[in-house]
Homo-oligomer: A and B are copies of this chain.
């Protein structure tokens, strides 16, 4: 938009890409777009091209930026929730979440395969700076003994005593899933806490940071269908004259949410699931 580099696309432009991870648009964050001048330039380029509608796909930052752009230039704009973190108000699921979740669980499965020795503790860090959706769901789906998420205050003393009792009673390997954004710090930080405590002297402690692998990979069935539904709905919303809204899926139905709500409000984690992690461990 800023460089005035536009390409017209039709249905063949997207043939044979549905199974691919990453982006074919090669769009990335732009410093210039953060300045009024940059956005001004983008708006002029759009008008010059006769483009009278925009669809912005991304997370918090993208949609907040899009809203600012709309407020300044009133070019009709509809947001589409695309982030692996699933932390967007206005949709039960974001595009990318289910794929990241399955990648995390496949990795946890592989880690569990190696847990054949006694008294081994794996601290597995998954993505989620501000939200524990991946940690919570991959913890349940991966059969973890404990899950640490940013949404709940974790007391390191309680964490220690829980893990310790767990390992001393069942004497087999345990897996703890930690969201990178947990207020106790990530897996590395927590491992230092444990290593500093001689109660854990006998325990073979391993830190696994799944990292960027969660951002790629061929999309899952659910993410593909979700992306098709939301993509079509975003176009329809534009055609229906909507602007400055985000399309989302709420209780299996397409819903529109004012952009401002998306980044001003916080989506709550599912506390029924949170209860399961302690119940099932």
Contacts and interface: CB of A to CB of B under 8 A. Distances in A.
B272 A19 contact: no
A239 interface: no
Contacts of A138: 221
A111 B16 contact: no
Give the number of copies in the complex. 4
Interface string A1-45: 000000000001001101111110011110000000000000000
Contacts of A137: 221, 225
B272 A254 contact: yes
A217 B117 contact: no
Contacts of A220: 102, 220
A18 B213 CA distance: 17
A140 interface: yes
Contact of A110 (B141, B213, B273): B213
A101 interface: yes
Interface stretch (A148-156, A194-202, A204-212): A204-212
Contact of A116 (B23, B122, B211): B23
Contacts of A129: none
A143 B16 contact: yes
Interface residues of A, number: 69
Contacts of A251: 251-252
A54 B221 CA distance: 33
- Of A212, A221, A272, chain B has the most CB atoms within 10 Å of the CB of A221
Given A113-B217, A216-B114, A254-B272, A141 B18 contact: yes
Interface string A171-212: 010000000000000000000000000000000001111111
Interface string A89-111: 00010000010011111010111
A140 B209 CA distance: 24
A178 B162 CA distance: 37
Given A113-B21, A216-B111, A105 B209 contact: no
Contacts of A224: 105, 140-141
A211 B209 contact: yes
A49 interface: no
A76 interface: no
Contact of A229 (B16, B115, B222, B273): B273
18 contacts: A12-B170, A15-B143, A19-B112, A20-B113, A22-B115, A109-B218, A110-B212, A110-B213, A112-B216, A113-B217, A137-B225, A140-B224, A206-B211, A206-B212, A220-B220, A222-B222, A251-B252, A252-B252
